[in-house]
Structures are given as C-alpha cells and as structure tokens.
Structure 1
C-alpha cells in the first residue's frame, strides 16, 4: 500500500476539519449543503479542539459553531468557556439555546454567568429554570461575591450518622442524579449538622451492617462566609477531592469540588498577574476580547500611574538648581527609579504570594519588615558597591559615591516598604496586588529622588 492509500491520521482530520470550518465561517453566503458536511466534521473533533475554536472565534461565529454541534456536545463546550465569554455569546444565541445551556450548568457556574449579564437578561434566565434549579441557584446567588458560598454547589451528597453502610449506599444511589460529586461523602445529624466525612470507596469496601459512625473521620470544612481564594488554596494544599461547606450554625449547605477550587485560584492568579502589570484581568481569551474591553482594562491604571508621576515631577522641580549645577546627575535618574521600583515590587510580590498561601499573617508585619530590610540592605550593598566602582571609574569618585550610597538606602527602603504594603492592604480590606505596586512605584520614585539629591548636595556641596 502506498502512502497515498493510507487513511488520514487523527491529526490530519483535525487540521482539515478546522480548515474547512474556518473557510465556512468566513464565507459571507455559506452553502446550506456545505454546512451539513462541516457539521459532520465538527462532530468528529475532540471536545478540546471544539473549545479552542470557540475561544478563538467572535461571538457570532462561536454561536454558529454551537448550533452546528449535537446538543450534548454544545452544552459541554459552552459550559467550559469563561463566564465573560459566555456572556458575549448570549446575545448571539437564540433564547431557546441559551435557556438550554443555562439549565444544564451547575448552580455555581450559573451564578458566575449571571454576574456577567445585564440585570434584565439575568432575571429572564433565572425565571427560565425549573423550581428546584431556581432554588439552588438563588441560594448560591445570595452569598457575598468573594465568599466560598458563592462557589459551592448546594447539590451535596449526605448520609446520616445513625445509618448503616447498607442504608447509606441506598441513600446515595437515590441522590446520585442530583449531586455534583459523590466521592467525598459528608455525614450529618438529623438536623443537617456536619459531624464527619467518609468516602464512597470506604463505604463500598465495608460490610453493609457496619455503622457509618465507625467509618467517618473528623471533617475538614469551610463556612459559607469564608474568603474564597484563601479557602481554595488551603483546600488544594490538603489534596482533598471535595470540601464540605457549612453555615454559621455548622449545618451542611454545600460542597466545594476540586475543580472549582482550581478555578478560584487560577482566576486570582490571573488577576494578580494582570494588576502587577498595571491592567485589569480580561477574564476571557484574548482573541475574543473586544478592543473596548482591552482599553477599559488598562486606561484607569495608566491614568493613576500618570497622576502619580506628577509627584516625581514636583521633586525634580524642587531640586532644579542642584540638577542645573551638575547635569550629569540627570543621567542616573532612570537607573535609580527603576531599581527602587523593581526592588519594592519584588518584595511586594513575594509577600502577596505568602499571604495567599497563609505563610504570612497580619501580625507578622514587623517580622516581614525586618527580614526585607536586611534583604534590601544586602541588595543595596551589592548593587551600590558595583555601580559605585563602575561609575566612579567613568564619571569620577564623587558621582560613584553618590550613586552607591543612594542605591544602598533606596534598596533598603524599597524592600521594607514593599514587604509591608501587602499586609497593610490586607488589614484595610484592599487587594494587595491592587494597592501595593502603584503605591510602591509612587513612593519609591519620589523618596528615591529626594535621597539622591540630598546626598548629591552633601557630597558635591551644591
């Protein structure tokens, strides 16, 4: 058999299907017969490929792709998209399709989508649910946005502490169609208070007449009001499959699955990464993000940083005479502000991460400042000493001394302030990533220039 006679490989079929689909979507007047052929190819693609296509398509094209998919695959593909992307698709899909996809989602995923939609559309979708789904979705919707209750599933399996293994398994079989996960099984009292937890595997391998209380372990749980990111990170560190969620009275109201915890942490990391770069997170794939949303994610930060730059201008204006007396000093201003800002942001990023992991708490602020002060001092000695020798060789010993001393003080100050800022932000209820970096940049730039010119005036006698 020649190579031309070999059947196409799965990868070849994927490439051809994507090429044909892209050509069909770009056709301003697509042939209905061609649509049937493309839909057949689309149905053979792995679901991951379909999701990738949706994430790279405009809302109108993505809606067309969803309509060409079998219902079950369309529901799975829609559910896998980010909430902001789903929101954009809602306007391009028919009301029936949106209601269909919305009804098939988990309660916490529905709430994420509702948060992205205009109020009138959100209300219409909520009213399209049957009574049971409406009740569970409304329950999750009632919790604060940054609480773990907002991410839990109220469809939680549970067994009674007074049951035997046989009775518990029968109860779980009856609940199976209405729960998100069944592998972690909370044990409750008659009034739904959480008293223990066991696993489906433990129950399956035990004799049917063994009391459930003999098989349960002490429960690790979270309250509905607990902060979502901190709880999710703690949960993932414990390597559990699911985490029971209780109300303030200890009654079981939901469960947090492992994948939902991963989503919380991923969103938080995306947010921190974006804000450390002076932008807001997009919350959807880049290629499907409207240009106006890209602008909106950046413009506020640019305005804040531009206004903070006025403080630097004020400092330069104050020391205008000193700068005029030794113009060479102006050459090193970018070096000082850049080094100071980077030192402070390094410290802030490290402490923000430590706060998220629970390695550092608010009461540790002085210990953190002391450690960062020492780290900044050593960094200042290394950088200051190196630049003092290097610049002293080219510009004279006085300039080298000025730069060396300034870097020593600025690095120490920047690291100390950078370490303290995330903890201060946490204490006042602000996002450490939002509060820390702009403040550090503004403070270190201004303070660094003041230190620089004061040292220069003392050394040069100007």
Structure 2
C-alpha cells in the first residue's frame, strides 16, 4: 500500500515548482524512504520530483522504484535525460532494468549513453540470465600487484568516488588476472608503513565464482564463507566484476519468491502484489488454475470407470474425498521438503535412490498412521448408511489400506518430481503443491477403487 504521508506536500511543491524544497526532500532522507514516499505519485510526477535532485541522488532514488514505474519513466521521459540517468546507475542495476524495457526504446537510448557505460551495458547484457556475469557489478577497487601501501592508498583515493564498495581491494596483474585481495582495514592498519608492498599483505587463497556460474551457487558461497563481496572471474582467471552481499540478498529473495509462487501454482510476479495490475494477476493465476482444472477432469473419467462399484456400495463414495486428499497432502509435503533441500544444495539427482528409500519408509510409516485413523472412522460408519449387505469391518480394512497406499504413493511422487524436474533443467518449484495434488488425485482414485 503506498505511503501517503508526504503526497499532499509533494504535489503542492510540484504545483509551485518549489525547487529548493523538492531538492531537500530528495537529499534529507534515505533514497529508499524517498522512493517509498513517492509510491503514490504517477510516473510523470515522480520524475518531476527527481529532476530537482543531483544526478547521483536521482539515480539512487530511481533504483528503489517499483519495476513498472521504472519502465514507464524510461519509456516516456526524454531519451537524453534517461541516457544521463542510466549512465549514473550501478552497472548491474541498469542492465536489469533495461532488460525489461521495450527493445526499440533501449535501441534509442544506448547511443546517447556515454561510451564507457554503453560498452559496459553491452558486455553485461551478453551473459545469460541467472548467472554471476548477469548479476555482477564492474565497479570495484582494483590495485596493481607491484604497488606499495602508500601508492595503494593514493590509488584508492582516486577510485573511491565511483565505487560501489571498498570493503575488499582486489590485486591484479597487468592483464587483470586476479592475484589476491587486501581488505580496506588491512590497508589502513598499515598506513604507518607506506613502503610495505601490497603483495606482502594480500590474501592469495580466494573464493571466486565463474561468470557462467548460477546465482544459486554464488549465494551459497557468500553465505558459507560470510563474504561482503565475491570476485567474478572468467575462464582465464581474469577479474571481470564482483557481486556484493546486498545483491546476493536481493537474488535470494527473488529466487525464494519465485519458488513460493510456483509452488502455489502461480506464475512469478514482477511487481509487488498490490502494485500488479488486475489483468496481470488474473493472467498469471488463471493459466495454472485452468491447466490444473483440465487435469482434474481426469478424476471424472477415473470415477466413471468404477460406477458399478460405487452403485453397489454407496459408502465408498463418501470416503473418496478423504482418500484423495490424503495423497495430495502427503505429496505436497514431500515436494516442499525436497524442493527446499535442492535449493539448499542438500540433495541432488545423484541422491535419488537415498531419497526414494527414505520416502518409502516414511510413506509406509505415515500411511500406517493415517490408515489406523481411517480404520477407526470407517468402522464407526452407521449401518443404515452402509446397507445390510456391507460389512463395516471389511469396509474399514479397505479404507485403511487405500489411505495407506495412497499416502505412500503421494509421498513417492512428491519426493521424486522435484528431482526429475531439476534433472531436466526445469525449476523444481514447478513440482508445486497443486501440481502434485492434482496428479495424485487422479491416480489415487484408481488405487482406491482397485483395492
């Protein structure tokens, strides 16, 4: 929900063209808060506010706008102004937003962007989405391996204004091969020994990622080694960029959000829930629901094949929802566990046999537990519902066996589908709870009436 606290004042300042107060608004608070207070403004109004800020501040606030507002501003504002804005943004952020903009608009903007920034955009855009190369920034502290501490401090003083972070200072040779790393703390601590070679201070055994490494691998390395940034190298071990911890957090949040959406049977959203247009939400939800609905129609076909059994013992129909929901629930539970284990790197396709053995035992144990409950409930069914020719004990045994078998089946399907999807190159999140539940519903009916 948009924060409306400053909306009246902002619109009043815009109406009066009060440049001084608008500039103060942009600079007095954190850029993220400024963007939050501008959520209720239209794209045109938001840009009118940003025009009163210095370019670096303008670019910083723009980073925190919702993607839809960023795209609208880029596509509607003067190309020269946008080119200036794009040139001032961090390399990874500007590539991300331009990837979402109409290609014709991007083609008009790029020639107006300064040459160095334009080449950087083209280079980063060449990397496949979801890789370290696509997420890295090329603005990082770089030091020659032959510098002394005094020379290194002077060099960092020149570079600092244009850098995203100076926690880590990367030492390279003349061809940009990564040789080591010196922390800013180490360098400052050695300020009393200005003639000390940087090579004597640097750490040589570094954790790096390749430009083509998936972002999930990047996130795991940053978390495992507790890094503030991780260097990105090419196949020749040349340093081409870094990925900072805040970018990793954004990547993890985005990945987790996509997985949760997919596991709920929803196509991932670009904007926040309240900011997404009604038609977009309908389209992303209706597609999956329609597909699952069509799949559920097979339950009708399955039930039709056993109409004689249902006619003979009407009580069987009463337990159909109980049995098939058991399979869906157990399958969804297993799918969630395995999908998360895959995301954390705890399980791979090579572990399928261990997972299968584990879930067979678990499915049997869970099936026995639920089957016992089903036995008691079926045995308590009133005789007038069962009919004179139906044995309550035989029905109870049938229902309990069905529940146990369907629970086992659902557990196996739910545990294997994410592994299979991951092996085939699909997101394991596609093995969503609705998907597993629908599949087990149809097959569960066949198991139920076969028993």
Moved more, 127-136 or 394-403: 394-403
How much does 1:72 deviate?
A: 5.2
Contact kept, 8 Å, 1:55 with 1:288, in 2: the verdict is no
Which of 233, 243, 252 pairs up with 1:256?
A: 243
- 1:389 equivalent in structure 2: 376
- 1:426 equivalent in structure 2: 422
- 1:4 equivalent in structure 2: none
- 2:187 equivalent in structure 1: 203
Which of 197, 201, 213 pairs up with 1:215?
A: 201
Give the alignment of 1:323-362 within 5 angstroms: 323-362=310-349
What is the CA–CA distance in structure 1 between the aligned matches of 2:40 and 2:297, rounded to whole Å? 40
What is the CA–CA distance in structure 1 between the aligned matches of 2:180 and 2:30, rounded to whole Å? 40
- 1:162 equivalent in structure 2: 146
Q: Answer yes or no: is 1:144 the counterpart of 2:128.
A: yes
What is the CA–CA distance in structure 2 between the aligned matches of 1:159 and 1:38, rounded to whole Å? 42
Contact kept, 8 Å, 1:425 with 1:436, in 2: the verdict is no
What are the Cα deviations for residues 39-68 of structure 1, in whole angstroms up to 9, with x where unaligned?
589556664443223445554554455457
Question: Kindly tell me: are residues 85 and 429 of structure 1, through their superposed partners in 2, closer, same or farther at Cα, counting changes over 3 Å?
Answer: farther
Identify unmatched segments of 5+ residues in structure 2. 383-391
Q: Answer yes or no: is 1:449 the counterpart of 2:445.
A: yes
Question: Kindly tell me: are residues 85 and 388 of structure 1, through their superposed partners in 2, closer, same or farther at Cα, counting changes over 3 Å?
Answer: farther
Which of 359, 366, 378 pairs up with 1:379?
A: 366
Give the secondary structure class of the aligned counterpart of 1:286. coil
Contact kept, 8 Å, 1:20 with 1:38, in 2: the verdict is no
Question: Kindly tell me: are residues 337 and 185 of structure 1, through their superposed partners in 2, closer, same or farther at Cα, counting changes over 3 Å?
Answer: farther
Moved more, 322-331 or 197-206: 322-331
- 2:271 equivalent in structure 1: 284
What are the Cα deviations for residues 9-57 of structure 1, in whole angstroms up to 9, with x where unaligned?
xxxxx97634555xx59xxxx9933977985895566644432234455
Question: Kindly tell me: are residues 271 and 78 of structure 1, through their superposed partners in 2, closer, same or farther at Cα, counting changes over 3 Å?
Answer: same
Moved more, 85-94 or 67-76: 67-76
Give the secondary structure class of the aligned counterpart of 1:267. helix
Q: Answer yes or no: is 1:305 the counterpart of 2:263.
A: no
What is the CA–CA distance in structure 2 between the aligned matches of 1:130 and 1:426, rounded to whole Å? 42
Q: Answer yes or no: is 1:317 the counterpart of 2:304.
A: yes
Contact kept, 8 Å, 1:83 with 1:112, in 2: the verdict is no
- 1:117 equivalent in structure 2: 101
Give the alignment of 1:32-51 within 5 angstroms: 32-33=15-16, 39=22, 42=25, 47-51=31-35
What is the CA–CA distance in structure 2 between the aligned matches of 1:338 and 1:314, rounded to whole Å? 18
Identify unmatched segments of 5+ residues in structure 1. 1-13, 456-462
Contact kept, 8 Å, 2:146 with 2:198, in 1: the verdict is yes
Give the secondary structure class of the aligned counterpart of 2:346. coil
Which of 75, 86, 92 pairs up with 1:108?
A: 92
What is the CA–CA distance in structure 1 between the aligned matches of 2:186 and 2:278, rounded to whole Å? 53
Moved more, 255-264 or 182-191: 182-191
Question: Kindly tell me: are residues 259 and 82 of structure 1, through their superposed partners in 2, closer, same or farther at Cα, counting changes over 3 Å?
Answer: farther
Give the secondary structure class of the aligned counterpart of 2:141. coil
Question: Kindly tell me: are residues 169 and 20 of structure 1, through their superposed partners in 2, closer, same or farther at Cα, counting changes over 3 Å?
Answer: closer
Aligned residues: 436
- 1:405 equivalent in structure 2: 401
Contact kept, 8 Å, 1:311 with 1:442, in 2: the verdict is no
Moved more, 92-101 or 251-260: 92-101
What is the CA–CA distance in structure 1 between the aligned matches of 2:222 and 2:188, rounded to whole Å? 25
What are the Cα deviations for residues 136-178 of structure 1, in whole angstroms up to 9, with x where unaligned?
1111111011211000012222223333322332332232233
What is the CA–CA distance in structure 1 between the aligned matches of 2:52 and 2:303, rounded to whole Å? 63
Question: Which of structure 1's runs of 4+ aligned residues deviate more than 6 A?
Answer: 34-38
Give the secondary structure class of the aligned counterpart of 2:231. strand
Moved more, 371-380 or 445-454: 371-380
RMSD of the TM alignment (CA)? 2.7
How much does 1:278 deviate?
A: 0.9
Contact kept, 8 Å, 1:158 with 1:186, in 2: the verdict is yes
Give the alignment of 1:9-24 within 5 angstroms: 17-18=6-7, 20-21=9-10, 24=11
What is the CA–CA distance in structure 2 between the aligned matches of 1:441 and 1:89, rounded to whole Å? 43
How much does 1:452 deviate?
A: 0.7
- 2:234 equivalent in structure 1: 247
What is the CA–CA distance in structure 1 between the aligned matches of 2:152 and 2:242, rounded to whole Å? 18
Compute the TM-score of the two structures, normalised by the length of structure 2: 0.88
How much does 1:189 deviate?
A: 2.6
Give the secondary structure class of the aligned counterpart of 1:158. strand
